[in-house]
Amino acid sequence: MSRPSFGARLAAAMDSRGPLCVGIDPHPSLLAAWDLTDDAAGLRRFALTVLDAVGGRVAAVKPQSALFERHGSAGVAVLEEVVAAGRETGTLVVVDAKRGDIGSTMEGYADAYLRDGSPLAGDALTVSPYLGFGSLDPAVDLALATGRGLFVLCLTSNKEGHEVQHARTEDGVSVAAAIAARAAAINAGADPLGSVGLVVGATVGDAADRTGTDLTRVNGPLLAPGVGAQGAGARELAAVFGAARHQVLASSSRGVLAAGPDVAALRAAAVRAAEEATAALRPS
């Protein structure tokens, strides 16, 4: 029996638990702050503690693949364990790996992160479209076939991002706007949300307006990193997303993780962040 689409599952999770995604980002500095060793054992303790605290209480979690990969095969094994553990809690797992390539290599990445039975396959994957949106076709096809989702980098908060994302083609359309339009075409007709979302930084200000990127037409989820410790609150979210706020899945990492390693404190921080995201993105 096929699972419901990722877009439908995420919409239901945001409605019931609030529009918050907690990043599982085991930076060396956080491991040290938690008095954990910077190795696979410390990594495992960190990640599973976060899941114990927030699993089943937030819409999604987002393990940052690079911070697991830096520990080699043992770290990747921990990532596989986190994906499985997240699934057991009923929490959606967005694997933040930002994969993007062409041809058979992209097919390989899709197989690793989106195929049923793969130990790295969560509920969604972040991907990069900057070898051309069409290069993502293997990931799009497999995600939709398996009820999974994608978050495509569109307007990111890093200072170098505008060099590509704000650039315009010969017909005057910005790269960001073209990416959003391709996602919108895939999501057309989906209800309540399509499964191909965008990554739009919560601190990019009026970048959508300046690039002519119509986020309201995407009809898919908008993953918004940068909420909390990175400076984005209700005012910033309103400025970036405007009428598209109801589509936003706010992502907070350090703002929640700094409360650890105490499970109760982590849980309270996540609940507080979810309430704040709901107030900012879904005002009554």
Q: What is the pLDDT of residues 128-182, one digit of tens each?
A: 999 999 999 999 999 999 999 999 999 999 999 999 999 999 999 999 999 999 9
Q: State mean pLDDT over 219-237.
A: 82
* Residue 151 three-state SS: strand
How many Cα atoms sit within 13 Å of 199 on the Cβ side? 26
**Would 3 be classed as within a structural domain?**
no
* 119 in any annotated domain: yes
- pLDDT at residue 115 above 70? yes
Which tokens hold the place of 275? 């309430």
pLDDT in tens, 238-272: 889 999 999 999 999 999 999 999 999 999 999 99
Over residues 44-56, the pLDDT tens digits come to: 999 999 999 999 9
The CATH number of the domain where 170 resides is what?
3.20.20.70
Domain total of the chain: 1
- Domain assignment present for 43: yes
**Spatial separation of the C-alpha atoms in residues 42 and 1, rounded to whole Å:** 38
Query: Among residues 27, 57, 98, 115, which one is catalytic?
Result: 98
Rounded to whole angstroms, how far apart are CA atoms 120 and 276?
31
Residue 1 included in any domain: no
Residue 196 CA to residue 125 CA, distance in Å, equals: 10
Reported pTM: 0.97
Q: Is residue 2 part of a domain?
A: no
Instruction: Say if residue 2's pLDDT is above 80.
Output: no
Domain membership of residue 47 as a residue range: 8-281
Annotation marks residue 98 as catalytic = yes
